[in-house]
Each structure stands twice: as structure tokens, then as C-alpha cells.
Amino acid sequence: MKLRPPLWRIWLILAALLAGGRTLAAAPVTHLQLRVVTGALELTPGSVLELRIYEAGKPVRRLGLSVGEGWPRDSTRIIPLSLTEPLDPRAVSRFALYYRAASPLSPPWEVVAADVDLSPGSEPPQRLLDATLSGTIAHEGELATEERDAASMACASDADCDDHRRCNGPERCAPRAAGADARGCVKGVPVACPVNQVCSEARGCIGTSAIAPH
């Protein structure tokens, strides 16, 4: 006698088929972790090194990685990065390592592997764009991932636009609406709480007396 699979498993299979291979939406993050494995030549002291993240409709983010120190050859660097503005991985079109040598006489810099972890400390790591960089930069330039197809970044449902924050209101997927961003998402209307109440991300509208003093 054959056993039928549980109903929840059937729903998961159907959801995957309806999604057409789209990955699940990721929540915005404020902390990243960059892993860089260097090659046979050291990073010359005084060189400039940046992580650059390109997002749809926004200026490029430039995150400094080296403050003039050299990196030894055949080494692994784990660099934690804190972001002043949350990063939505769904809006990232590509990322790159930018390198400028300290001197025209500096040797090329080789990257054996470099990736960005969106969830530092968790297993398995969640890599940005599911990509790993590898290559050599002569004296100045970028080692970058391939540009994402704009169609793969466009929202298909309100869930694609959800920033997982309650108080700024639910976001909508409305590419043709006024105010839609490069992905077709429209910001929500902030929650208006009754008099003497404020919005809490964890509990919604609560009385000011319920807020613990700092």
C-alpha cells in the first residue's frame, strides 16, 4: 500500500512550481561578512580595497576593506561589515571587489575566492547573489559578478517587496504606480496609532507607558 505524502509537502511542491524557480524573498540585512582568500602574491601595503555593491535605482555602496595594511599571500580574511542603511539582497544587481595598487610597480593582486555572507554565524552561509568572485586585478579595477537580468529583479507579488517591518506599512508590488522603485515596489503607508500610542515593530500600536525607559 502506497502512502500519500503529507498535505504540507504537496503545497510546498506546488508553490515551487508556481514560483517558476524564483528564490524565496530575503529580508533586508544590516550586517555582512566578507570572506577573501588571497593568491600567491601579497596585497601591497598602501593599496586601496573596497567592496562595491550595486543596487537597482540607488548609488553604489562603497565599503572600505583595507586601511593601508598589507595582506599576506595565501591567506584567508574574514571581514565583518556593518551597514548604516539596510541592504535588500533582492535589489542587488552585482557586487565587486575594487583594487587600486599602492604603486605602479606593485604586482597584480590575485583573488582565489571571495564571497559575501548575508547571515554571519549561521549555517549554511547565505551568499549574496549565490556568487563567488575569482580572478586577478593588474593595478586598478574591479573583479565583479555578472550583472543580474533586470527581469529577475522585478517584483511579482507584494511578498517580493515586503521589508519585514510593521510600522512603515505593507509594501505593494505595483510597477506602473507613481512612486514605484526600480524593482516595481511601492512603499507602505506608515501606521497611524491612536493618541498616546506609538508603533512597536514587535507589538504594533502600544501605549507610551508600555515602553521601557532606557
Query: Does any domain span residue 4?
Result: no
> Which of these three, 150, 177, 198, is where a domain ends?
150
Query: Does any domain span residue 10?
Result: no
CATH of the domain at 114: 2.60.60.20
Of all residues in the chain, what percent carry a pLDDT higher than 70?
86
CA–CA distance, 203 with 126 (Å, rounded to integer): 29
Query: Does any domain span residue 128?
Result: yes
Query: Does any domain span residue 16?
Result: no
Grid cell locating 114: 571571495
* Full residue range of the structural domain in which residue 87 is found: 29-150
Query: Does any domain span residue 122?
Result: yes
Is pLDDT above 90 for 212? no
Query: Could you report the per-residue pLDDT of 83-95, keeping only the tens digit for each?
Result: 999 999 999 999 9
pTM over 0.85: no
* pLDDT of 71: 92
Domain count, the chain: 2
Q: Are residues 163 and 90 in the same domain?
A: no
CA–CA distance, 203 with 205 (Å, rounded to integer): 7
Q: What is the CB neighbour count within 10 angstroms for residue 91? A: 19
Q: State the pLDDT confidence band at 209, using cuts at 50, 70 and 90.
A: confident
